[in-house]
Amino acid sequence: MKSDLRNNPLRSMGRYWLTMADSSAFTLVRSAVWAAESLRNDLADQARLATRQSSAELAVVLLTAAESGWGKGKATQLVGQIVDLSGPAQHLRGRVYLLVRDTMARLPLVLWPQEKQAARRDLLEELTRQLNQYQIEMTAHPSREELRERLWREAVTGQRKSETRQRG
């Protein structure tokens, strides 16, 4: 191809443009696979949840969300395709939404068509809203562990007070 470009540059330019376009597409897909692998690892490490798909399948979900311009109403569907949230506690659900939001924000902007950039913003805002909702619910209703810890602290404080009264 190199010599063909020197001899007849106009005829071979189309093949070079296709090659460059293929390289760009490959780089974008590789970025999506990397983001999917990072998301899978983060979900396993931080939320102790396994994804429903392999890294490649998860990358397809992320690419589909970007290319189709998933917006405001698709945040829960996107998270539902990635992990099953019917079992985890509230704080883990919030962590999942945080990790998915961060992953979607890290994906290259080029993945979203120009006319669907607003949908990307809407999706990120919806994921953030869901995250905030789970955090608000968490603070309103302490978990069993938090209640147990509070009782232990109160018991220890009560013992210390009674010991200081007996000494004094």
Whole-angstrom CA distances from 142 to 137, 138, 139, 149, 150 are: 9, 6, 6, 10, 10
Q: Is residue 167 part of a domain?
A: no
Please report the pLDDT score of residue 167 as a whole number: 79
Please report the pLDDT score of residue 147 as a whole number: 82
Q: Domain range for residue 34? A: 2-142
Q: Is residue 157 part of a domain?
A: no
The structural domain count of the chain equals 1
Q: Is residue 14 part of a domain?
A: yes
75 Cβ partners below 8 Å, 6+ apart? 97, 123, 126, 127, 129, 130
d(CA 17, CA 77): 37
Please report the pLDDT score of residue 126 as a whole number: 92
Residue that has been written with the tokens 């999917």 in this structure: 36
Buried b (16+ CB within 10 A) or exposed e, 58-77: bbbbbbebbeebbbeebbee
**Cβ pair 74, 106 in contact under 8 A:** no
> For the whole prediction, is pTM greater than 0.85?
no
d(CA 55, CA 154): 47
Q: Is residue 79 part of a domain?
A: yes
Q: Is residue 107 part of a domain?
A: yes
Q: Is residue 150 part of a domain?
A: no
Q: Is residue 151 part of a domain?
A: no
Q: Is residue 82 part of a domain?
A: yes
Whole-angstrom CA distances from 105 to 70, 122, 140 are: 13, 12, 29
Please report the pLDDT score of residue 136 as a whole number: 66
Please report the pLDDT score of residue 1 as a whole number: 44
**pLDDT tens, N- to C-terminus, the chain (168 residues):** 444 545 655 555 555 555 666 778 888 888 999 999 999 999 998 888 888 888 889 999 998 898 888 888 888 899 889 998 877 676 788 888 999 999 999 999 888 888 989 999 999 999 999 888 877 665 556 678 878 888 898 998 888 888 888 876
